[in-house]
């Protein structure tokens, strides 16, 4: 018999932050429940608790249970496809970081139809990982941000023949206007875009 307080879903890690001496708060975009926040107890120090500690950009299968308020407790994490090549390039890390931050800000917690959003981010990270040039990385970033805004109900997706610095700025400005927050990862991706046009 299934326990209604336990959940399983594919997910991608959007954000990780320390919580107390031993724990982590892990924010993930799931294919079934939208963006959710998990507490990973003892994840910072105990390898017995998680043989594969959660890391930024990782995707995998998450098992979690309902905790207090909006915070769930992570019971198990089985990674698959860690986007290892992505981590070897500062430009790719910058692009992945800004996308994850934008998804975290725009996707509602426990959204009703999260699967298209999950698949959009998954395709984007795959595209960034295998991009051979910075220009391709920026194209993936701009296209994904435009589609994210459309799927989130804020604006129609636009065709962008030129994924340049100006296009990127407009999209990031739109996200910041909607969320009324400054994107922490904005400067890094802007630097990448400027360098690619130099």
Show pLDDT as tens, one digit a residue, over the chain (198 residues): 356 788 999 999 999 998 888 888 999 999 999 999 999 887 766 565 566 667 889 999 999 998 777 789 999 888 887 788 888 999 999 999 999 999 999 998 777 789 999 999 999 999 999 999 999 999 999 999 999 999 988 875 565 545 678 889 999 999 999 999 999 999 999 999 888 876
Residue 192 CA to residue 128 CA, distance in Å, equals 14
Q: Rg of the Cα trace of the chain?
A: 17
Asked if 114 contacts 34 with a C-beta cutoff of 8 angstroms, the reply is yes
CA–chain centroid gap for 46, Å, is: 25
Q: Domain residues of the chain, as ranges?
A: 6-79, 85-197
Q: How far apart are CA 32 and CA 40, in angstroms?
A: 20
CATH architecture assignment, domain 6-79:
Beta Barrel (2.40)
């Amino acid at each position: 018999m299934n326990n209604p307080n336990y959940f399983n879903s594919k997910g991608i890690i959007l954000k990780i932050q320390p919580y107390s001496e031993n724990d982590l708060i892990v924010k993930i975009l799931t294919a079934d429940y939208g963006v959710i926040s998990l507490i990973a107890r003892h994840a910072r120090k105990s390898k017995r608790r998680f043989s594969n500690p959660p890391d930024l950009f990782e995707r995998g299968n998450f098992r979690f249970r309902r905790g207090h308020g909006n915070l769930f407790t992570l019971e198990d994490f089985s990674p698959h496809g860690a986007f290892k090549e992505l981590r070897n390039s500062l430009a790719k890390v910058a692009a992945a970081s800004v996308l994850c931050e934008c998804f975290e800000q725009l996707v509602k917690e426990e959204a009703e139809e999260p699967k298209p959003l999950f698949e959009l981010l998954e395709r984007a990270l795959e595209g960034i990982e295998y991009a051979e040039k910075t220009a391709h990385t920026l194209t993936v970033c701009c296209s994904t941000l435009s589609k994210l805004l459309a799927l989130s109900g804020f604006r129609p997706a636009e065709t962008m023949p030129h994924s340049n610095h100006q296009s990127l700025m407009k999209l990031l400005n739109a996200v910041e206007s909607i969320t009324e927050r400054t994107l922490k990862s904005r400067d890094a991706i802007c630097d990448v875009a400027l360098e690619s046009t130099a």
